[in-house]
């Protein structure tokens, strides 16, 4: 790119231009200060492309070796933090690397690096490689998180707590059952992530600016060298496709929705009113005014950053919705949300993992929160087992609830005579319906909250972690 004091011919695209750029336009156009994160992928892609050009006879083997050596030197400078960006010249990582390469090995040979290649394909190749590697790390973070969920569910299977609908106490459940309810959402996220990675990991290099490569380069060789799973088969699609970014952001938005709801539950459960869990000091903060406060800031940030993740997705999709075919500079706006989204999601999984791994659980508080009214369905089920139609048992159980409220006697303490007066089909074994542990154990069908069902769910989660579900 050119500034007002430097001829535009100094830039990769400057030969056709005779005037200078507005200095603000220079800054507005450049992406070097965020896309420099792609330096390693750009070096790898450039070497693979140069190797293919050497195979095609477009450059000599000696020229390729000098290009590779120079590019490795450029990479070392980035890694050492000694690479110097030239403002107004290095508009992006691709321009910067080629400019520095020319300084190291000479412009004549460096000038051959870009033969047959467009920045349109170069940028998307670098993005795909970077994103593929980052998503594989996120995959491992998610596996680690799921392993903690499964381990805690197994270790703490005997804790019984209220289950909620509409945030009202509903039926007794196991604490492990609650953890696994989110565990299965995260396991689905893992399955979807693995599918996303497959579609990210496709090679666009060799597509040219839009029409393809004129020198017969071996795209399959490049694909293998760069670790891609396959090709982008249409050159026009190859340079314009940002679906792989959109899909990543869609995936991350859904994951963050799940993590936000998970965090919300734990925020509620950690209040003094509930007291089911207590966050470790490592994931809590205090108040600047109130010494007694222990705030669940880690969980609140997880909940808050979900909005950030949704914004990345919505913003990029809005940018793309009206674009004509092939490359348009609007697509530069796909890089920053991708970078920030990946960091946000990656950090969030690791924080969530840390929160859960260090969380203290108060089983006694959970048990104390159980209410006999939560067994009203068990009373109805008891009568069902006696042959009474459920619609009738539901009404009878409701009358038991009303009697408890009328007398102020907890439903499980109503006398057998009081229950018998409500319906003559009650027998003395009705007492079994008022045992919380019995209630959870009766939910033994696949997916229920009985111990056997929960242990089965843990095995299903473990299989999903290994990619077997």
Residue 13 is assigned to a structural domain of this protein: no
- Averaged over 406-426, what is the pLDDT? 94
Residue where a domain terminates, one of 115, 146, 163: 115
Q: What is the pLDDT of residue 269?
A: 98
Looking at the fold, whether 265 and 304 belong to one and the same domain comes out as yes
On whether residue 4 sits in a domain, the answer given is: no
Average pLDDT score over residue span 4-33: 67
- Classify residue 20: in a domain, yes or no: no
Q: Considering 321, 349, 368, which residue would you say is the last residue of a domain? A: 368
Which of 93, 115, 137 terminates a domain? The answer is: 115
Q: What is the CATH number of the domain that holds 45?
A: 1.10.275.10
CA distances from 6 to 26, 88, 142, 468 (A): 11, 9, 49, 59
Look at residue 21 and tell me if it is in a domain. no
Task: Give a yes or no: residue 160 inside a domain.
Answer: yes
217 lies in some domain: yes
pLDDT, averaged across the chain:
94
Do 340 and 436 lie in one domain? The reply is no
DSSP per position, 359-416: -EE-HHHHHHT--GGGGHHHHHHHHHHTT--HHHHHHHHHHHHHHHHHHT--GGGS-H
Q: Compute CA 48 distance to the chain's CA centroid, rounded to the nearest angstrom.
A: 30
Q: Does the residue 304 lie in any domain?
A: yes
50 confidence band (pLDDT: 50, 70, 90)? very high
What does the pLDDT average to over 130-151?
A: 98
Residues 387 and 345 reside in one and the same domain: no
Would you say 204 and 217 are in contact if contact means Cβ atoms under 8 Å apart? Answer: no
Q: CATH number for the domain including 411? A: 1.10.40.30
Residue 45 has pLDDT above 60, yes or no: yes
Kind of pairing between the strands at 277-278 and 360-361: antiparallel
Nearest of 160, 169, 174 to residue 374 by alpha carbon: 169
The structural domain count of the chain equals 3
The Cα 180–Cα 455 span in angstroms is 10
> Is 263 found in the same domain as 358?
yes
With a CB cutoff of 8 Å and minimum separation 6, the contacts of 371 are: 162, 169
Q: What percent of the chain has pLDDT over 90?
A: 91
Would you say residue 72 has pLDDT above 70? yes
Whether residues 193 and 255 fall in one domain:
yes
pTM of the model: 0.92
Indicate whether 182 and 83 sit together in one domain: no
Per-residue pLDDT at 1 exceeds 60 = no
Structure token pair of residue 217: 């380069």
pLDDT range class, residue 319, cuts 50, 70, 90: very high
Q: Look at residue 11 and tell me whether its pLDDT is greater than 80.
A: no
Contact criterion met (CB below 8 Å) for 117 and 50: no
Same-domain status, 383 and 342 = no
Question: Which range marks the domain in which residue 72 is found?
Answer: 31-115
| Residues 252 and 339 both lie in one domain | yes
What is d(CA 41, CA 123) in angstroms, rounded to the nearest whole number? 10
The encoded tokens of residue 467 equal: 């990619």
* Domain harbouring 299, CATH code: 1.20.200.10
**Residues 149 and 109 grouped into a single domain:** no
Residues with catalytic roles: 166, 287
304 shares a domain with 225: yes
pLDDT in the model for residue 5: 36
Query: Each residue of 234-285: pLDDT tens digit?
Result: 999 999 999 999 999 999 999 999 999 999 999 999 999 999 999 999 999 7
Please state, as a whole number, how many other Cβ atoms lie within 10 Å of the Cβ of residue 384: 14
Asked whether residue 15 is assigned to any structural domain, the reply reads: no
- Among candidate residues 325, 347, 407, the one with its CA nearest the CA of residue 372: 407
Q: Would you say the C-alpha torsion 255, 258, 264, 269 has a positive or negative sign?
A: negative
Are 238 and 307 within one domain? yes
State how far the alpha carbon of 227 is from the alpha carbons of 127, 245, 391, in Å.
14, 19, 61
Residue (of 79, 72, 80) closest to 104 by Cα position: 72
């Amino acid at each position: 790119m050119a500034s007002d004091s430097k001829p535009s011919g100094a830039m990769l695209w400057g030969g056709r231009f005779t005037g200078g750029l507005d200095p603000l336009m220079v800054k507005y156009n450049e992406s070097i200060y965020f896309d420099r994160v792609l330096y390693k992928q750009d070096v790898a892609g450039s070497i693979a492309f140069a190797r293919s050009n050497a195979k095609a006879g477009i450059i000599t083997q000696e020229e390729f070796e000098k290009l590779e050596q120079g590019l490795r030197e450029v990479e070392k400078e980035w890694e050492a933090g000694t690479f110097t960006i030239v403002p107004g010249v290095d508009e992006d990582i691709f321009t910067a690397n080629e400019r520095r390469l020319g300084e190291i090995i000479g412009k004549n040979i460096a000038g051959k690096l870009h033969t047959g290649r467009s920045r349109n394909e170069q940028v998307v190749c670098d993005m795909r490689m970077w994103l593929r590697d980052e998503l594989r790390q996120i995959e491992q973070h998610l596996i680690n998180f799921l392993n903690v969920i499964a381990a805690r569910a197994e270790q703490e299977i005997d804790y019984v707590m209220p289950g909620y609908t509409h945030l009202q106490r509903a039926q007794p459940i196991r604490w492990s059952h609650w953890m696994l309810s989110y565990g299965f959402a995260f396991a689905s996220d893992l399955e979807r992530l693995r599918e996303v990675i497959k579609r990210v990991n496709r090679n666009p290099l060799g597509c040219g600016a839009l029409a393809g490569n004129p020198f017969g380069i071996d795209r399959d060789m490049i694909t293998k060298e760069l670790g891609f799973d396959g090709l982008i088969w249409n050159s026009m699609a190859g340079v314009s496709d940002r679906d792989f970014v959109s899909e990543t952001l869609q995936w991350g938005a859904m994951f963050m929705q799940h993590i936000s709801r998970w965090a919300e539950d734990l925020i509620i459960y950690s209040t003094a009113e509930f007291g089911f869990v207590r966050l470790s000091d490592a994931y809590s903060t205090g108040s600047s005014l109130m010494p007694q406060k222990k705030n669940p800031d880690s969980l609140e940030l997880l909940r808050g950053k979900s909005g950030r993740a949704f914004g990345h997705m919505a913003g990029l999709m809005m940018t793309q919705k009206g674009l004509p075919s092939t490359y348009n500079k609007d697509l530069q706006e796909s890089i920053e949300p991708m970078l920030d989204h990946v960091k946000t999601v990656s950090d969030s999984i690791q924080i969530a993992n840390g929160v859960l791994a260090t969380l203290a659980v108060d089983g006694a508080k959970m048990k104390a929160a159980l209410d006999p009214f939560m067994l009203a369905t068990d009373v109805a089920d008891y009568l069902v087992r006696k042959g009474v139609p459920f619609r009738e048992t539901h009404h009878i159980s409701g009358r038991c609830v009303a009697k408890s409220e009328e007398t102020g006697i907890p439903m499980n303490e109503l006398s057998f005579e009081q229950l018998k007066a409500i319906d003559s089909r009650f027998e003395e074994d009705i007492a079994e319906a008022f045992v919380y542990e019995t209630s959870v154990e009766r939910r033994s069908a696949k997916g229920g909250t009985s111990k056997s069902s929960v242990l089965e769910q843990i095995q299903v989660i473990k299989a999903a972690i290994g990619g077997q579900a």
